[in-house]
Structure 1
């Protein structure tokens, strides 16, 4: 089936379902979640638009109102994977404060944001790994995220508030902890996203502080700054 021309902007009004499911608002998140799941299982080439439409109960023609082609779905998935943590880190860096406070705020908010995503972040990594040229911007943004976190760690080490650790490995570990939490959260969790984010932040920062007694002060300051946003 031929998609609408590029001159026509995609509509966001509700489109008819091919099955009996009710239509409620914009199904974009549902489409992205289904696409990431299918692509993770079948690969990019093995996931046609018709299969994505079937998964969310839309007619293929209706799917084209939201995404004209599969490449647009892939681009939306990959963009979402990095935009949230990058924007979060930019806001935290703009607020300033101690490195431990910045790391605490980032880990807590990043975990909450990841758990709220409609797709598995690990599926996105696998998609981007299959075609590093096509998704070069994704890896560039990912590298920037790692460098910015590592810079905060190095600053804390230089100031003497954080232990002497490998800054880049620490940055990767912090990101991996948040992403791993999203993995099991999506399977079902008795804990809220706020509880998960707070717990991860406590464990991460407590393990980095030279003086563990500084954790309570770090938490209070993080709470104060987050309350302003």
Structure 2
């Protein structure tokens, strides 16, 4: 879905101005993410991306066959939540603490994608699910990880009884909804207090704690445990997370 291989040599492809870039593919992704955020996905063209990157248009097509493949790359180079699921599977921490940490890391991560609109990536992924199979595989791994932890917490009666599948959907909806508000708050509307006069919306860490804390408060059979769950969660040493998957 990404590039078709490196060009001859290791010095990178030649720019329109005659200079060379060490990593043209990464530069194209970086420029595209900025333009998608500034102009919107629909208004951004491959020609505009090439010009902003200082490359000839055929050079962009060498690495990415179309704009949607490039949009996918802007997300896949940053997504690591599926790795967090794996890392937490090795932790001896309590189920509530592991769920808190998973929701925290996912929310913080997608907030830090801003100004890239994660919802825009999902929109294209829905339209072309076969081509975005890797994206959806990662997403499903995250969802399954949440559901497994919720199921385990209900089994031990640490969580209220209910439908783990729906709890997983609600948790992800909380994460993604707050990411959208964070992105808006970090943009042009921020100085005006938009979309809401809540300064914490500009802070990915604060947003992540709010998302995880709200979900755990609703799930915990004893909500007074939340403070201890949060403390335990943030002490977990994650293994296998932190390196972004290669698209």
Q: Which moved more, 1:182-191 or 1:110-119?
A: 182-191
Q: Relative to 1, partners in 2 of residues 1:147 and 1:11: Cα closer, same or farther, differing over 3 Å? A: farther
Q: How many residues align?
A: 212
Q: Following superposition of structure 1 onto structure 2, how do residues 104-119 of structure 1 map, counting pairs within 5 Å?
A: 104-118=100-114, 119=116
Offset of 1:65 from its aligned partner? 6.7
3-state secondary structure, aligned to 1:187: helix
User: Over the residues paired in the alignment, what is the CA RMSD in angstroms?
Assistant: 3.4
Task: Say yes or no: does 1:29 pair with 2:24.
Answer: no
Counterparts of 1:63 and 1:11 in 2: how far apart (Å)? 18
**Alpha-carbon contact 1:37-1:123 (below 8 Å) kept:** no
* Structure 1 residues without counterparts, runs of 5 or longer: 18-24
Displacement of 1:224 in angstroms is 2.1
Q: Is the aligned partner of 1:212 residue 2:213?
A: no
For residues 201 and 140 of structure 1, the distance between their equivalents in structure 2, rounded to whole angstroms, comes to 23
Q: Do 1:160 and 1:210's aligned partners in 2 also have CA atoms closer than 8 Å?
A: yes
Distance across 2 between alignment mates of 1:150 and 1:5: 37
- Are 2:93 and 1:97 equivalent residues in the alignment? yes
What TM-score, normalized to structure 1?
A: 0.77
- Unmatched segments (≥5 aa) in structure 2: 18-25, 187-198, 242-247
Note the C-alpha offset of 1:215. Answer: 1.1
The alpha carbon displacement at 1:139 in A equals 2.3
Q: Which has the higher contact order (CA 8 A, sep 6+)?
A: 2
State the Cα deviation string for residues 139-165 of structure 1 (Å, max 9, x = none). 233222211210110000001101112
Question: 1:145 is matched with which residue?
Answer: 142
Separation of aligned partners in 2, 1:125 and 1:8: 30
SS of 2:63's partner is coil
Partner of 2:214: 203
1:97-141: CA deviations, max 9, x gaps? 222101111111211111111411101111111112222332233
Equivalent residues in 2 for 1:73-222, closer than 5 Å: 73-80=70-77, 83-118=79-114, 119-189=116-186, 190-191=199-200, 192-222=203-233
Cα gap change, 1:133/1:203 in structure 2, threshold over 3 Å: closer, same or farther? same
8 A Cα contact 2:85 2:102, kept in partner: yes
Distance 1:211 1:29, change over 3 A: same
**Does structure 1 conserve the Cα–Cα contact (< 8 Å) formed by 2:28 and 2:60?**
no
1:182-217 deviations in Å (ceiling 9; x for gaps): 111112243211111112221111110001121122
Give distance in 2, aligned partners of 1:64 and 1:126. 26
Query: For the residues of structure 2 that align with 1:203 and 1:5, how far apart are their CA atoms?
Result: 44
